[in-house]
Amino acid sequence: MTTRKHPRDPEEFEATISLYEGKIAELESAVAEARDKYLRLAADFDNYKKRARQEQLDTMQHASSELIHRLLPVLDDLQNVLEHRPKGVDESWAKGLELSVRKLEEALGTHGLEPIDAVGTRFDPKLHEAVGHEESSDHPEDTVVSELRRGYRVRDRVVRPALVKVSRRPALPAENEES
């Protein structure tokens, strides 16, 4: 007795075809579902890589800005020494100190440190910290007229705001009261 590989009855043949068509449709659905799952996982993994890379950059920038923030008082002190050097100081010593200050500024600049422009600009509370006012008719109101301490930013983040004085309109003279 031999086993049949193909049905001889047309009705049995149709039933087998419909069975195979059902299996094919089921497998195609499973393949489509697996492909969708794969594409979602690939996109999720790509987003994860981008997020991890950005977090790593943020961490590095934050770490350098913390160090820069701690070095800024040293830079301020060295600049104050240069601005207020006493008479009779050896000029070669002063030039050496100027060179050291410039090297420190350049080293900090390679990590993204930039001074904030203050004098002559409009007061911006994100960049400036007002510590006083000056009456001025020469400048528009809320214009920075003097800088008491330089401010800095690292890339787009303010490390230290500039301490400034802001202009305001002169007070109107009070009318004399008649006695």
The region that residue 120 occupies, defined by phi over 0 for left and psi between -120 and 50 for alpha, beta otherwise, is: left
C-alpha distances (whole Å) from 26 to each of 18, 19, 21, 30 are: 12, 11, 8, 6
pLDDT score of 4: 57
pLDDT score of 173: 62
In the chain, where the domains are located: 114-170
Q: Domain 114-170 class?
A: mainly beta
Per-residue pLDDT of the chain (179 residues; tens, 9 = 90+): 556 566 577 788 888 888 899 999 999 999 999 999 999 999 999 999 999 999 998 887 777 878 888 899 999 999 888 888 888 888 888 899 999 999 999 999 988 889 998 888 888 888 998 888 888 777 788 888 888 999 998 877 888 999 999 988 877 665 444 44
DSSP per-residue string spanning 39-77: HHHHHHHHHHHHHHHHHHHHHHHHHHHHHHHHHHHHHHH
